[in-house]
């Protein structure tokens, strides 16, 4: 009996975390569980949970630990997660990490994956991004639509979002670091942190991640 593969993934915006998460989930046949996606889907569906989340967010509040614990406990208890999962977006605090370890006791989390990307690389990637205001297509500087400011798909205006300016990106990166450093330390102390360089060809990064997981599980 192989023990369940319970993976967490950490990576700042622009680290390629979404791409690698999909690949790992497919490779190991486990669900990619993104708590952000779950909360957005709940809000969109108008479920009880969604209504709670919406009212918290419209008040500018943070979703409480208790509420997130319920969401995570229910989702990880579903059949498709029995053989393992890749959890993305949770935990966000050491308290949540301790809750998760308790929930998964005695084995706990198998490995916490950290996709490490140099800040300057992330800033460069994000600040080059341009978005069509009409159809939402994304481009990068160097592509005709981004350089000309006209969407090649719909003719709409292609602009840089306020969130994508260097000042905004650096601010988010520093918040991310403040929030994530204690979590990485939590799993490192347990000898269950795997840090992989997230710069380079996505195929090569996936190979490195899989090698590290197979060695560490
Ligand atoms: Zn467009």
**Cβ neighbours for 71, distance < 8 A, ≥ 6 positions apart:** 35, 38, 39, 49
Residue 125 falls in the annotated catalytic set: no
- Cα-flanking dihedrals φ and ψ of residue 87, to 5°? -100, 130
Question: Kindly report the CA angle at 136 between 25 and 147, in degrees rounded to 5?
Answer: 110
Please give the pLDDT value at position 110: 97
Closest CA to 156 of 135, 140, 180, 130: 135
Closest CA to 131 of 122, 121, 141: 141
Annotated catalytic residue, options 40, 73, 153, 161: 161
Annotated catalytic residue, options 128, 129, 170, 217: 129
Please give the pLDDT value at position 206: 96
Residue 75 falls in the annotated catalytic set: no
Tokens of 102: 């308790």
**Residue ranges with strand state E in 122-175:** 129-132, 138-140, 158-159
| Structural domain span for residue 43 | 5-216
Burial of 14 (0-12, 13-18, 19+ CB in 10 A): buried
Q: Ligand 1 centroid vs 138 CA: distance in angstroms?
A: 9
d(CA 12, CA 172): 9
Closest CA to 111 of 42, 24, 18, 174: 24
- The domain spanning residue 43 has which CATH number? 3.40.50.300
d(CA 171, CA 12): 12
**Cβ neighbours for 209, distance < 8 A, ≥ 6 positions apart:** 20, 23, 24, 113, 194, 196
Please give the pLDDT value at position 57: 81
Binned average pLDDT, 10 residues per bin, the chain of 217 residues: 88 88 97 93 90 86 87 94 96 94 95 94 91 96 97 97 93 91 96 94 95 93
Annotated catalytic residue, options 92, 128, 170, 217: 92
Annotated catalytic residue, options 75, 128, 170, 172: 172
Residue 12 falls in the annotated catalytic set: no
Residues recorded for the chain:
217
Element (H, E) at 5: strand 5-11
Reply yes or no: is the peptide bond before residue 195 cis, omega within 30 of 0: no
Number of domains making up the chain: 1
């Amino acid at each position: 009996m192989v023990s369940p593969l319970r993976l967490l993934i950490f990576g700042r915006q622009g680290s390629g975390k979404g791409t690698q998460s999909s690949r790992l989930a497919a490779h190991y046949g486990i669900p990619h569980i993104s708590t952000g996606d779950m909360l957005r889907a709940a809000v969109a569906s108008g479920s009880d949970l969604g209504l709670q989340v919406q009212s918290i967010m419209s008040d500018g509040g943070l979703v409480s630990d208790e509420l997130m614990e319920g969401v995570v406990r229910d989702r990880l208890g579903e059949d498709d997660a029995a053989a393992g999962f890749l959890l993305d977006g949770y935990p966000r605090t050491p308290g949540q990490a301790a809750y998760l370890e308790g929930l998964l006791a005695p084995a706990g989390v198998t490995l916490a994956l950290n996709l490490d990307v140099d800040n300057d690389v992330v800033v460069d990637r994000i600040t080059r991004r341009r978005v069509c205001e009409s159809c939402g297509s994304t481009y990068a500087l160097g592509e005709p639509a981004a350089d000309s400011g006209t969407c090649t798909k719909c003719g709409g205006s292609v602009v840089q979002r306020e969130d994508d300016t260097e000042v905004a990106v650096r601010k988010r990166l520093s918040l991310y670091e403040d929030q994530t450093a204690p979590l990485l330390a939590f799993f490192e102390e347990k000898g269950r942190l795997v840090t992989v360089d997230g710069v380079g060809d996505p195929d090569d990064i996936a190979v490195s991640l899989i090698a590290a997981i197979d060695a560490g599980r």
